[in-house]
Amino acid sequence: MSVQSSREFWRAIHPPVEKPTLRILSHGGGVQTSTLLFMAERGEIDRPDAAIMGDGGNEPQAVYDYLAYASERTRIPVYLYNNANILEHIRRSKGLPDGKQLMALPYYLADGGRMMRTCTNTVKIEAVTKQVRQLLGLTKGQRVPLNTRVEVMIGISTDEKSRAGGFPAERWQSVRYPLLEEEMSFGDCLRWLDDRQYKRAPRSRCIVCPFRSNESWRQLTKAEFEQACEVDDFIREGGTPPRGYQSLPYLHADRVPLRQVDLSRVDLFPEDDCTGSCST
């Protein structure tokens, strides 16, 4: 598809909002949304009023460092919104007598399958909406005025286009997929950054996120990997499965303790993703 027809196609499904109250970039902190941020800065796509990243307080340091790097190279304000601390939720959920999960991560279960995930919604999607409400000047519980239209730009690229369509989170939001409009893949984003001499953004996800390939686990620093191992041990402490499940959870797809996994193996399947699924 040519860029022109791609634009027409995606804009027919997700039309740009005319004179939006606010236009924001839902910033995942990784390659695709960093590319969009710089494209907007250079006038290659519509300019958002702000970029917002939901932060569970557990991103690798490389992600926070890149956010600082990006913020210095754009006049678009970049907000980090911490709606929930993911480690705190994991700790507190173990402390509850009934084993209730306050926030569920997509852990691998010993008897097969995965745990249902709520962290994306709590850490990412709700965070973006709360920051938008602040930018609109709304107080807690205050209704959004009827004529409010907020355009939310999502960084889904052509290689993950099946993930498009998860938003809007609220009736007063409309979504837009600028990378799909521009017919850009993940590789195109890397090339775009390279060609303009921007540093490549790291892949963004919580340190303890089970959506990691072996390669992605290897990219953590020693201290970050140790933190993930401690959490991995912790979620099985006491030998009680999470509420509503029959078997113990693991962070790695092998369903063995993370410390014992041979991470030097080549990944056979592409890495699953929080950012695409939750559209941040």
Interface residues with ligand SF4 (CB under 6 A) are 56, 105-106, 117, 119-120, 123-124, 205-206, 209, 211, 274
Nearer CB in complex with ligand SF4: 178/276: 276
Nearest approach in angstroms of CB 78 to ligand SF4 is: 18
Beta carbon of residue 30, minimum distance to ligand SF4 (angstroms, whole number): 10
> Residue 39 or residue 123: which is nearer to ligand SF4 going by CB?
123
Q: Which residue is nearest to ligand SF4 (CB)?
A: 274
Least Cβ distance, residue 2 to ligand SF4 (angstroms):
34
Looking at 25-153, list the stretches that DSSP marks H as alpha helix, in order from N- to C-terminal side.
31-41, 61-71, 86-95, 119, 126-135
Nearer to ligand SF4, 41 or 272 (CB): 272
| DSSP label of 77 | -
Closest approach of ligand SF4 to the CB of residue 218, in Å: 17
DSSP 114: B
* Residue from 190, 219, 197 nearest 207 by CA: 219
Contact predicate 242/95, CB 8 Å: no
Decide whether 120 or 213 has the Cβ nearer to ligand SF4. Answer: 120
Distance in angstroms (rounded) separating the CA atoms of residues 179 and 261: 36
* Residue at 262: amino acid letter: D
How far apart are CB 75 and ligand SF4 at their closest, in Å? 28
Is the Cβ of residue 39 or residue 207 nearer to ligand SF4 in the bound state? 207
Q: Supply the minimum distance, in Å, between the C-beta of residue 278 and ligand SF4.
A: 6
Q: CA-CA distance, 125 to 169, in Å (whole number)? A: 7
Are 136 and 64 in contact by the 8 Å Cβ rule? The answer is: no
| 211 versus 225: smaller Cβ distance to ligand SF4 | 211
Q: What is the DSSP letter of 163?
A: G
User: Which candidate, 148, 129, 89, places its Cα nearest to that of 280?
Assistant: 129
Pick 89 or 133: Cβ nearer ligand SF4: 89
Q: Provide, rounded to whole angstroms, the least separation between the CB of residue 137 and ligand SF4.
A: 28
Alpha-carbon span 72 to 80, nearest angstrom: 15
Residues 202/62, Cβ–Cβ less than 8 Å: yes
CB 114 to ligand SF4: min, Å:
11
**Nearest Cα residue to 117 out of 166, 78, 161:** 166
- Contact predicate 29/63, CB 8 Å: yes
User: Rounded CA gap, 84 and 54, in Å?
Assistant: 9
Q: Which is nearer to ligand SF4, 174 or 214 (CB)?
A: 214
